[in-house]
């Protein structure tokens, strides 16, 4: 099956879905598709069923009786039955679903928003498991059943541990957000600075380009501020309340006020549990559950420190949520009144640069180092890229490393390939390089860095002539600007 012309990227996802849909064999097979909301999962699956002549049912929040009625009507329409199926239980519905591939070959069947059905009918995963058992397979047809949902904690648990469907799936596909390079291409932004600023606000969620802004993208650097005002801070546009809805749509997040407060603490720059607890006026132990839940639903990440085993950083995974808590939430009352957005945005510029763009630029630099930089740039094969804190006992301080690249050197040893500093709005000079050299010396004294560990300077504002000259003569020094982030290795 050819990928639809209107589908951007998703080559890997389309290839895996079409492979699964065409699997040979007479028995029914299960697949699970998940991913955060607004990533285009339904678009993918709708295209798949259209291309293969399959069945697609999108569940809604309803009682079991209503859901069975809707499912029976949809299945009868697909089977060209004159009257809807009347199912009294999901056993009957799933049994009938497993018979739809009666035309000589595999048939795709998609149940989208599966968590809604399972919430109303908790036994449904077990019923599907029973329908896939060897005894039931004798009467099944080659249905390629795909269960899809955005509730990450629920979907992840479908195939985990002692869950009924564990070991039953022939496909487990997670549809990711677009990375910063693909996002720039998708938004059709060619200027790297504008692309990164836009990405710091809306990230790589495809729906924000089409459904939420109706194709309105910044025309260039001079249009970015106006775009934020008209497309994001405008109370009549969908993006205005999207960050709030993201939490409201997650079934695991019952105390939304607490979760918003935790996210606000992280957006304010508190990346450790202790700092978050101090910000909220709570005990650190009280936050174990909300932090775990936010991580389970994909709204935050928990990244280990490169140099301290007992330290890790919490970061918000969705840029729009960071933007909301840093810029919009403190001025929400003003923003709700039409015409106030330009003033709010003008006053929020320092916060936007320090709390939103700065941390996002660091994250983009880590992504580039992990996925886009050439092996020669690091002098080895990358295993992971994180940030870290390095103690400086003599100076009684510590130094933060924005980009720590670990992996395998050319001679096959595991080690620290590179350390880097990222500055979004500051032209980097020789003093930045000297700071990296000092940190390199500290790490060398601890047996972590070596003479081949490279020093990387990332800047959104350029480099001084002196630093450029030093980089030209020192093979261990790399300068990475915006153009290289978006187009180079």
- Residue 245: pLDDT above 80? yes
How would DSSP label each residue in 270-304?
Answer: --SHHHHHHHHTS-GGGGHHHHHHHHHTTSEEEEE
CA distance 326 to 408: 38
Give the contacts of 478 (CB within 8 A, at least 6 positions apart).
Answer: 377, 418, 454, 455, 456, 457, 471
Give the contacts of 137 (CB within 8 A, at least 6 positions apart).
Answer: 27, 28
Biggest distance spanned by C-alpha atoms of the chain: 83
Confidence grade of residue 387 (pLDDT, cut at 50, 70, 90): very high
pLDDT for the residue 252: 75
Confidence grade of residue 309 (pLDDT, cut at 50, 70, 90): confident
Q: Quote the tokens at residue 55.
A: 């069945």
- Residue 488: pLDDT above 90? yes
pLDDT for the residue 126: 97
pLDDT for the residue 133: 93
- Residue 249: pLDDT above 90? no
The model's pTM is 0.93
* Mean residue pLDDT across the chain: 95
Confidence grade of residue 253 (pLDDT, cut at 50, 70, 90): confident
pLDDT for the residue 479: 98
């Amino acid at each position: 099956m050819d990928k639809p012309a209107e589908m951007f990227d998703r080559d890997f996802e389309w290839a895996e879905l079409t492979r699964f849909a065409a699997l040979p064999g007479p028995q029914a097979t299960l697949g699970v598709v998940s991913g955060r909301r607004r990533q285009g999962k339904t678009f993918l699956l709708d295209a798949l069923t259209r291309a293969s002549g399959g069945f697609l049912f999108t569940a809604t929040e309803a009682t079991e009786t209503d859901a069975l009625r809707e499912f029976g009507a949809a299945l009868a329409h697909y089977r060209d039955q004159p009257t809807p199926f009347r199912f009294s239980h999901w056993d009957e519905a799933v049994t009938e679903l497993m018979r739809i591939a009666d035309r000589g070959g595999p048939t795709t069947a998609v149940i989208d928003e599966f968590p809604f059905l399972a919430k109303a009918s908790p036994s449904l995963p077990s019923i599907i498991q029973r329908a896939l058992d060897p005894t039931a397979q004798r009467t099944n047809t080659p249905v390629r059943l795909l269960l899809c949902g955005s509730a990450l904690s629920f979907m992840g648990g479908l195939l985990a541990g002692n869950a009924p469907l564990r070991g039953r799936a022939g496909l487990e596909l997670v549809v990711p957000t677009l990375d910063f390079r693909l996002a720039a291409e998708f938004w059709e932004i060619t200027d790297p600075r504008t692309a990164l600023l836009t990405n710091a606000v809306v990230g790589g969620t495809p729906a924000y380009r089409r459904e939420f802004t109706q194709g309105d993208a910044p025309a260039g650097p001079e249009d970015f501020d106006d775009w934020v005002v008209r497309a994001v801070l405008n109370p009549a546009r969908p993006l205005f309340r999207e960050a709030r809805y993201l939490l409201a749509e997650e079934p695991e997040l019952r105390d939304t006020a607490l979760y918003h407060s935790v996210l606000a603490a992280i957006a304010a720059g508190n990346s450790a549990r202790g700092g978050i607890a101090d910000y909220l006026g709570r005990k650190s132990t009280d936050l174990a559950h909300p932090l775990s839940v936010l991580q389970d639903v994909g709204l935050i990440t928990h990244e280990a420190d490169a140099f301290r085993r007992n330290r890790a950083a919490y970061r918000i995974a969705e840029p729009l949520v960071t933007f909301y808590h840093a810029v919009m939430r403190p001025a929400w009352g003003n923003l709700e009144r039409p015409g106030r957005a330009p003033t709010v945005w003008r006053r929020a510029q320092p916060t936007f640069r320090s709390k939103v763009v700065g941390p996002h630029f660091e994250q983009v630099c880590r992504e580039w180092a992990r996925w886009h930089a050439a092996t020669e740039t690091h002098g080895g094969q990358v295993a992971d890229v994180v940030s870290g804190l390095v103690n400086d006992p003599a100076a009684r301080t510590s130094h933060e490393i924005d980009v720590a690249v670990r992996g395998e050197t050319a001679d096959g040893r595991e080690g620290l390939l590179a350390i880097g500093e990222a500055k979004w709005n500051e032209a980097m000079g020789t003093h930045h390089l000297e700071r990296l050299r000092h940190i390199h010396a500290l790490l060398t004294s601890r047996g972590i860095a070596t003479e081949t560990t490279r020093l990387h300077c990332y800047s959104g504002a350029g480099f001084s002539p002196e630093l450029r000259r030093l980089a030209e003569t020192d093979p261990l020094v790399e300068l990475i600007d915006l153009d290289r982030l978006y187009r180079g290795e």
